[in-house]
Structure 1
Amino acid sequence: MNNNFSINVTMEPDLNRLYQESLELLSALVNTPSITGEEQQAADLIEQFLKDRGVETFRKHNNIWCFNRYQNNSKPCILLISHHDTSAPLNKSTEPGNVKIEEDVIYGLGSNDAGGSLVALIATFLYFYESVDLPFNLCLAATAEEENSGINGIRSILDVLQQADFAIIGEPTAMQMAVAEKGSMVIDCKVKGVSGHAAREEGDNAIYRALKDIDWFRNYQFPIMDNHPQPVKMTVTEIASGIQHNVIPATCNFTVDIRFDHNYTPKEIINTIINHTSCEFDLRNAVSKPCAIDLLHPIVTAGCSIGLETYLSTTSSDQCWLEIPAVKIGPGNPGCSHMENEFIAIEQIEEGINTYIRLLRNLNLIN
Structure 2
Amino acid sequence: MSIEILSNEAITLLKNLIETPSFSSKEDETAQLIEQWFTAHKIPFKRTKNNVWATNKYFDDTKPTLLLNSHHDTVMPNKAYTKDPFKATIEDGKLYGLGSNDAGGCLVSLIATFTYFYAHKDLQYNLVIVASAEEESSGENGLNSMLSIIPKIDVAIVGEPTLMNLAIAEKGLVVFDAKVKGTPSHAAHPNNNNAIYNTIEVLKWFKDFKFAKTSKALGDVKLTVTQINGGKQHNAVPAEVSLVIDVRVNDCYTNKEIVEILESNSPCSSIKARSLRLNSSSIPVEHPLVQAGIAIGRTTYGSPTLSDQSVLSCPSLKLGPGDSTRSHSADEFIYVNEIKEGIEIYIKLLNKVL
TM norm structure 2: 0.87
Distance in 2, matches of 1:231 and 1:47, equals: 42
Structure 1: gaps spanning 5 or more residues: 1-12
Residue of structure 2 aligned with 1:73, choices 49, 56, 61: 61
Q: Check conservation: 2:169, 2:217, Cα contact below 8 A.
A: no
Name the CA distance, whole Å, in 1 between partners of 2:10 and 2:131.
14
Q: Aligned pair in 2 of structure 1 residues 242, 306: CA closer, same or farther (>3 Å)?
A: same
Query: Partner of 1:111 in structure 2?
Result: 100
- Tell me: CA distance 1:228–1:208, structure 2 relative to 1, closer, same or farther (3 Å): farther
Name the stretch that deviates more: 139-148 or 224-233. Answer: 224-233
Indicate conservation of the 8 Å contact 2:169/2:218, yes or no.
no
- Alpha-carbon shift at residue 333 of structure 1 (Å): 1.1
1:230-241 mapped onto 2 (5 Å cutoff): 230-241=219-230
Alpha-carbon spacing, 1:215–1:22, altered in 2? closer, same or farther (3 Å): farther
Q: What is the letter of the counterpart of residue 287 of structure 2?
A: H
CA distance in 2, matches of 1:240, 1:290: 29
Partner of 1:263: 252
Does the 8 Å CA contact 1:79/1:161 hold for their aligned counterparts? no
- SS of the residue corresponding to residue 159 of structure 1 reads coil
Q: CA deviation at 1:356?
A: 0.1
Which sits farther off after the overlay, 19-28 or 156-165? Answer: 156-165
C-alpha distance in structure 2 between counterparts of 1:104 and 1:249, whole Å:
55
CA distance in 2 between counterparts of 1:109 and 1:209 reads 43
Residue 266 (structure 2) pairs with residue 276 (structure 1): yes
Tell me if 1:82 matches 2:60.
Answer: no
Q: 1:30 to 1:236 in 2, by over 3 A?
A: farther
- Equivalent in the alignment of 1:174: 163
d(CA) in 1 for partners of 2:217 and 2:101?
30
Mark the CA change 1:231 to 1:206 in structure 2 (over 3 Å): closer, same or farther. Answer: same
State the shift of 1:332 in Å. 1.2
TM-score between the two structures when normalised by the length of structure 1: 0.84
Shift of 1:321: 2.0
Give SS of 1:109's match: coil
1:186 aligned counterpart, secondary structure = strand
Instruction: Find 1:120's aligned residue among 109, 115, 119.
Output: 109
Deviation at 1:63, TM superposition (A): 1.1
Contact 1:205/1:248, CA 8 A, preserved across alignment: yes
Corresponding residue of 1:220: 209
Shift of 1:170: 0.7
Counterpart of 2:152, as a letter, is Q
Q: 1:307 aligns with which of 297, 308, 318?
A: 297
Do the aligned partners of 2:71 and 2:133 also contact (CA within 8 Å) in 1? yes
Question: Is the CA contact 1:117–1:172 (under 8 Å) kept in the aligned structure 2?
Answer: yes
Give, in whole Å, the separation in 1 of the partners of 2:303 and 2:102: 15
Q: 1:155 to 1:119 in 2, by over 3 A?
A: same
> How many Å separate the matches in 2 of 1:231 and 1:312?
11
The answer to whether structure 1 residue 324 and structure 2 residue 314 are counterparts is: yes
CA contact (8 A) 1:210 1:279 kept: no
| 2:137 maps to 1:148 | yes
| Alpha-carbon offset, residue 363 of structure 1 | 1.4
| CA distance in structure 2 between the aligned counterparts of 1:327 and 1:187, rounded to whole angstroms | 27
In the aligned structure 2, how far is the partner of 1:107 from the partner of 1:287?
33
Corresponding position: 1:157 with 2:146: yes
Structure 2 unaligned residues grouped into runs of 5+:
none
Residue pair 1:81, 1:167 contacting (<8 A) in 2 also: yes
Aligned equivalents of 1:339, 1:226: Cα separation in 2: 29
Displacement after TM superposition at 1:167 (Å): 1.3
User: How far did 1:96 drift?
Assistant: 4.9
**Does the CA contact (< 8 Å) of 1:96 and 1:109 recur in 2?**
yes
Q: CA deviation at 1:32?
A: 2.4
What residue number does 1:3 align with?
none
